[in-house]
Structure 1
């Protein structure tokens, strides 16, 4: 392939940013932190699919390189670090950018009345006033209008979270609340929300990648729900994918931590909480609250923490459902245990009424009641299928020619040859 042809082929795969006429080579990402513990940063840094390194080095086909401006992860500091922020605010950055906000947005007017601030980054130098810290809420206000997208990372940023709980003195709020219902980014997108305390690392990087695909003109707009959450990540409740969910319908509920049973009666809110941490794991498909024996306290939901407190107390709504589950679950559990035992035996073990296991003594047979239930079970299993039971007269008739051949003496086989 000639150099010209190779260049043409590469150009064909370079996406075009919808606000630019030329191809998109890079996108700046400004990570701002409000009332935050930096847990969302730690979680995102541990993401694996895709990883932060893949996003920064443009290793995903179709995506541009991301230039990350992060107060913790960036190499530069001071004026050098803040230079890009001021350029973006002035409209002189020369490249599209997105804003990622971690933590809730405090009401800086409250702190301002006392001559202070809640959360700030960088300094504003004015004549006669000296250096004044610039609140991150002000940066969000200034950068949001020109951003291709604003992405709220973590429950504090998406809904307000713990800093916005009842009794707080900061007036903390979510990015959505701060920007208002009418806000749209430069590409016409409302704020995008990735809840979690902290959110699953892969949820953050995957959403960023999906949004960049759209911004680059290389893919469709991802599906978001009515609250701006990635619909493919938050469309199901914790309970539906929980590793312990099967115990619920069998009426098996844990009474203490460490039991591998449903945790609803210990205070788990999984049946009504939208989150994928059980199926995806906290990071690298490892961990996750219920996977490690913990309960769900609803940290991805808009009402957290107030609506789910006090934690570790049985939700009132579970009383009726668990009572019904126990009533029907005992029968369901018996049927499943019987099926497990009757199907978990080989033909030879059934014939010998013994299981030759060196690990433990295993009962190889079935008692009269179990054999009776087994007969009904086999009848219903074969019904309307045309299948005859193993060892039936019909099956033996099919097998007789083979058995007759095997029973012949070697001399008879030689004669046939």
Structure 2
């Protein structure tokens, strides 16, 4: 008799990722769920997302990743380099794999502003790699703001003509995890959901609702100050940071309750405004990050 994995009971956003990763590891270890291959491309960006992922705790990113998938390619994490690394990458084209892409896709000069290796004596651009592997992948995850919509790599004046991954894979369904950087829980939770139940429910922009459904403003511990019109006048004040430029009212993500660096703090907790890094349009649409606009009101920005 075939065994089925039951969906998890309703949980808070914060608990969902840990529950999913724990269940996925147990199911993979018991043979109920197949361990999948993962190709992780790093394109035009700062590698901030892979650094953030390596800082993951409870569950630990390195251990969890090895328990969930067969990591077939990662520029930062694999032992092989040069020709050997690219050969390992190309071997995956004929196999089943999940594709994760960090960084924007540079279009300038047919992609030559971002080269990830050499293939048959020719530069292997990030553009070509994204197209080749995007067309063959069973599932695609855009990791971080640059991959989801261009992010900092596509900020004005955008000399590399960088774009988000969806712009070069227009017909493909892509799970988007915006953030600068992405939180380890968002990536591991999404990966675990793929293994257990398939692709998670997303909003109209492709963001998983289990992480990106609620405005920061609606769960911010300083919301009572906003409601009473008590606003910070300078950085360091313990009241609402809205009139110093906080983008919480237009940013959907679970930072207030999930928090960062081992789930211990987040920007507002450190007395700095949210800069809206997980919102589409970041950074240009969220600038300036700090302002002293005493006339600012809540509106759709």
**Bucket of the pairwise TM-score, normalised by the shorter protein:** 0.7 to 0.9
> Which residue matches 2:259?
281
Question: Aligned match of 2:79 in 66, 72, 75?
Answer: 75
Question: Aligned match of 1:223 in 195, 201, 209?
Answer: 201
- Contact kept, 8 Å, 1:47 with 1:205, in 2: the verdict is no
- Contact kept, 8 Å, 2:72 with 2:92, in 1: the verdict is no
**Displacement of 1:13 after TM fit?**
5.0
CA distance in 2, matches of 1:240, 1:174: 28
Alignment partner of 1:57 is 2:52: no
Alignment partner of 1:295 is 2:290: no
Alignment partner of 1:120 is 2:115: yes
CA distance in 2, matches of 1:11, 1:209: 10
CA distance in 2, matches of 1:309, 1:11: 44
Q: Deviations over 1:315-359 (max 9, x none)?
A: 6983479xxxxxxxxxxxxxxxxxxxxxxxxxxxxxxxxxxxxxx
Q: Deviations over 1:231-266 (max 9, x none)?
A: 011111111222222211222111111111000011
Unaligned runs of 5+ residues in structure 1 are: 1-9, 17-23, 59-63, 126-130, 184-189, 216-220, 322-417
Alignment partner of 1:84 is 2:88: yes
**Displacement of 1:54 after TM fit?**
3.5
Larger radius of gyration: 1
- Contact kept, 8 Å, 2:38 with 2:69, in 1: the verdict is no
- Contact kept, 8 Å, 1:203 with 1:233, in 2: the verdict is yes
- Contact kept, 8 Å, 2:43 with 2:116, in 1: the verdict is no
Describe how 1:19-58 pairs up with structure 2 within 5 A.
24=34, 26-58=35-67
**Displacement of 1:49 after TM fit?**
4.0
Q: Decide whether aligned partners of structure 1 residues 315 and 162 sit closer, same or farther in structure 2, where only a CA change above 3 A counts.
A: farther
> Which residue matches 1:252?
230
CA distance in 1, matches of 2:29, 2:79: 34
**Displacement of 1:293 after TM fit?**
0.8
Describe how 1:14-413 pairs up with structure 2 within 5 A.
14-15=31-32, 24=34, 26-58=35-67, 64-89=68-93, 91=94, 93=95, 96-107=96-107, 110-112=108-110, 117-125=112-120, 131-180=121-170, 182-183=171-172, 190-215=173-198, 221-313=199-291, 318-319=296-297
**Counterpart secondary structure, 1:66:** strand
Q: Decide whether aligned partners of structure 1 residues 137 and 49 sit closer, same or farther in structure 2, where only a CA change above 3 A counts.
A: farther
CA distance in 2, matches of 1:44, 1:309: 26
> Which residue matches 1:337?
none
Unaligned runs of 5+ residues in structure 2 are: 1-26
**Counterpart secondary structure, 1:48:** coil
CA distance in 2, matches of 1:316, 1:212: 48
Equivalenced residues, count: 273
| TM-score normalised by the chain length of structure 1 | 0.61
**Displacement of 1:311 after TM fit?**
2.4
Q: Decide whether aligned partners of structure 1 residues 317 and 97 sit closer, same or farther in structure 2, where only a CA change above 3 A counts.
A: farther
Which runs of at least 4 in structure 1 moved beyond 6 Å after TM superposition? Answer: none
CA distance in 2, matches of 1:316, 1:213: 49
**Displacement of 1:177 after TM fit?**
1.4
- Contact kept, 8 Å, 1:268 with 1:315, in 2: the verdict is no
CA distance in 1, matches of 2:38, 2:134: 12
**Displacement of 1:195 after TM fit?**
0.5
| TM-score normalised by the chain length of structure 2 | 0.83
Q: Decide whether aligned partners of structure 1 residues 158 and 309 sit closer, same or farther in structure 2, where only a CA change above 3 A counts.
A: same
Pick which of 78-87 and 235-244 moved more. Answer: 78-87
